[in-house]
Structure 1
Amino acid sequence: MASVVPIPSIQDLRVIFHEKVLVSPSEKTERKSMFLSNIDQMHNYNAHTAHFFTANPDFPPKIVTERLKMALEKVLATYDFAAGRLRTNQESGRLEIECDGAGAGFVAASSEYSLCDLGDDLVFSNPGFRQLSVLFDILPRDDQPLLILQVTSFKCGGFAIGTAMNHTLVDGAGAQKLLAVESPTTLWRCRALSSDKERVVSTLFTSMDIRSRLIPPLPDSYCGNAVLYAEASAKGGDIEKLPFSKLVELVWEGPRRFSDEYARSVIDLLEIEKWKLRPRIEYNVTSWLKLGLDQVVYPWGKPFCVGPICTVLAHACFLFPSVEGGVNALVSLPSEEMQRFQAYFHQFFT
């Protein structure tokens, strides 16, 4: 049964920060500028996630913090661009990554609460979770690390690993397959009706992984952005009156048209429009249901819950697995529209 989760009772995790340091690659790396694709150019913002782990007596938070910091040093020696900084090429106007070994951010913190205090199924819309992945306030805004890891320990011995990563680095969709289409359709209908604009055309963009659609396909090792947007449009009045199956068909048409030729034409269009596609997006649904982030095995075990901490864009939605095996949807809308959205959401499932 679908439901709208209540507002969390604990919205301040009472986090104390013990350490904020820059971590450099374990080996000296070559200084160079790294080209960013037209798709990468669209994604100059930070994506925040949190991975929650139950207590493991063999890996208390202090040990995890030390191990993770050492592991980060080794990772940066291979993926040196993650230790660089984002810069604008003065001649071309394009964003580039200056691989200068400036370092990634690392934060050690603790909360006054236990994980059980946060509820049985962690709600990632909780504004308090933003304390689990903070930006580097010890550096100026134009010199922020592209990657920041934060380990926050809880009184129970459990901990959270928060990540803040500039989206120009990766898209997080390395193993993602076709998006499930029913959930985006439901959310699109509720979103369109909540805007109270019956005659206005409503457009849904679903994030589309194009790795396997290109000829030749991108290699598995490719970790840059390879996500474009599949589009579906209809008038608000039609969205309300059309059968749900027809709306599903409209949404499914977008991914079906993504051939190699179509994807490359969109990439060329981004060059012409100077990567300004994103601001025109009315509503975007991104699925994390098949990313498999909760299946990554760390030395201290798998996370029991993984998800986005907060949306960085208005009118955006993330789908991700819940602890109990269902689906969570993190929706971002203005307050008035959110009230109408919830009403239509309840109406749809009753």
Structure 2
Amino acid sequence: MAVIRVKRWQPELVAPATPTPHEVKLLSDIDDQEGLRIHVRNIYIYCHSPSMEGKDPVKVIRDALSRTLVFYYPFAGRLREGHGRKLMVDCTAEGVLFIEADADVTLDQLGQALQTPFPFCEELLYNVPGSDGIVGCPLLLIQVTRFKCGGFTFAIRMNHTMCDGAGFAQFMSALAEMARGAHQPSVLPIWQRELLSARNPPRITCNHPEFEKPKDIAEWQTIIGSIENMIERFFFFGPSDIASLGNLVRDQLGEAKYSTFELITAYSNWLLWKRYGISRGSTVEKLCENPITYAVELIKKAIAEVKEEYMHSLADLLVINGRPFYTLPWSFLATKLWRMGYRKMDFGWGNLVYGGLTGTDNVFADLSLMDYVNPNGEEGILLPILLPAKAMERFAKELDDMLGNPNQAIKSGNKSQHNSQV
């Protein structure tokens, strides 16, 4: 693997290009829960484009960012914490952190490193000391790194309390439009966080097992071991793989409707707890003893329950219980991140090599399913997962057996390992 050296210029604050309202905006009572008080990192890789010869991606994007922040001005503010740990945005127009950088290699020299998980994340998205807090810190950190071939990377870190995947995709789309010369985004942002705020008085009307405290935490900790010893691996599901899983389910469910998200999530859930649950005689025994269709029906049922009343009840629960962290033991967190347009973020250069998450965030059984094009040019879905080494071996083997062919695992390795220099 190539060694990459990156020269970074002094981080700077990019503020809105014109004056913006100085006001305080409350986050919703779902936004400011403990589980969302994290930073999410994404990276976008672009090749050289002859049509953009002579144009500097750093200058183009920095200018577009300042103009985009006129419309998305809360991003230029800072979070404050009020009574009961309530988060709010103080729209101070202080700006977001921006880093200009240059790499001493071409994109081609990185080879397989252009696929997730990226071993050079720390170099392509430098963690400015003191910037990664939740309260009182910049809400966005962006680094644009030029490569010797004329290509570049756009890496961004976002405070997750500010928006979800869809909201972030809307911001990125606006930024790309402004970089291509637009005077304003085609879709303007709207702040209506009150729709997801707790009622007065708050009242819990639905079951929320994702926030219940399990009784067997010690057993769970014994099973997964130390989080530092986890192995991260990325599994690619192409059209034929998805069809194979669909055929397995269709034989038992007939023509019942199910989505690709339900299918992959159910299968991964079923396979994962089959490996853990039966050997330990835990409460997931029923899931393990039944076929995959049982897991599909569970996923469909869980999704169907998330209606308006459920969300009101969830907001009320979070307020009543002090905005707790969701339950980790025996939980399975799945997020749909594909078809949100991440691969179409065009700053004018086009030729997107990769667009999406830099990897998992050291959360056991955290599935963030996202768009991906494998090295053969085949479009599909990428499944990142973090497991203990032995469990990962079993997971991969059973996946191969289920599909009838070796799954195209992208890469694996300990998350702490990388082979680069600054």
46-55 or 28-37: which moved more? 28-37
* Higher helix residue share: 2
Alpha-carbon spacing, 1:193–1:97, altered in 2? closer, same or farther (3 Å):
same
Which residue in 1 is equivalent to 2:252? none
TM-score, scaled relative to structure 1: 0.78
Structure 2 unmatched ranges of 5 or more: 171-258, 405-422
Give me the whole-angstrom Cα distance separating, in 2, the residues matched to 1:186 and 1:44: 29
Which residue in 2 is equivalent to 1:92? 84
Runs of 4 or more off by more than 6 Å in structure 1?
Answer: none
SS at match of 2:48: coil
- Deviation per residue, 1:109-167 (Å, 9 max, x gap): 12233222333694222332343223322758564310112111222211111111101
* Higher strand residue share: 1
Out of 274, 294, 299, which is 2:343 matched to?
294
Which residue in 1 is equivalent to 2:237? none
Give me the whole-angstrom Cα distance separating, in 1, the residues matched to 2:161 and 2:55: 31
- Deviation per residue, 1:72-95 (Å, 9 max, x gap): 111222211101112211x33212
Map 1:1-350 onto structure 2 (within 5 A): 9=1, 13-42=4-33, 43-59=36-52, 63-89=56-82, 91-119=83-111, 122-137=114-129, 141=133, 143-174=136-167, 180-195=261-276, 198-201=280-283, 235=284, 237-280=285-328, 282-301=331-350, 303-315=352-364, 316-323=366-373, 324-350=378-404
- Deviation per residue, 1:1-21 (Å, 9 max, x gap): xxxxxxxx45x6432213411
Q: Structure 1 residue 302: deviation in Å?
A: 5.5
Give me the whole-angstrom Cα distance separating, in 1, the residues matched to 2:286 and 2:5: 47
Cα RMSD over matched residues? 2.6
- Deviation per residue, 1:295-333 (Å, 9 max, x gap): 233322252321201222411122112223022112123
TM-score, scaled relative to structure 2: 0.66
Q: Structure 1 residue 179: deviation in Å?
A: 6.8
Q: Is the 8 A contact 1:194 1:344 kept in 2?
A: no
Q: Is the 8 A contact 1:270 1:277 kept in 2?
A: no
- Deviation per residue, 1:323-349 (Å, 9 max, x gap): 230221121234444344333333333
SS at match of 1:173: helix
- Deviation per residue, 1:277-300 (Å, 9 max, x gap): 424462212121221111233322
SS at match of 1:314: coil
SS at match of 2:69: helix
Give me the whole-angstrom Cα distance separating, in 2, the residues matched to 1:334 and 1:97: 39
SS at match of 1:127: coil
Alpha-carbon spacing, 1:284–1:162, altered in 2? closer, same or farther (3 Å):
same
Which residue identity is paired with 2:73?
Answer: D
> Which of structures 1 and 2 has the bigger CA Rg?
2
Larger RCO: 1 or 2 (CA < 8 Å, sep 6+): 2
Alpha-carbon spacing, 1:61–1:307, altered in 2? closer, same or farther (3 Å):
farther
SS at match of 1:330: strand
Alpha-carbon spacing, 1:342–1:291, altered in 2? closer, same or farther (3 Å):
same
Give aligned pairs, total: 305
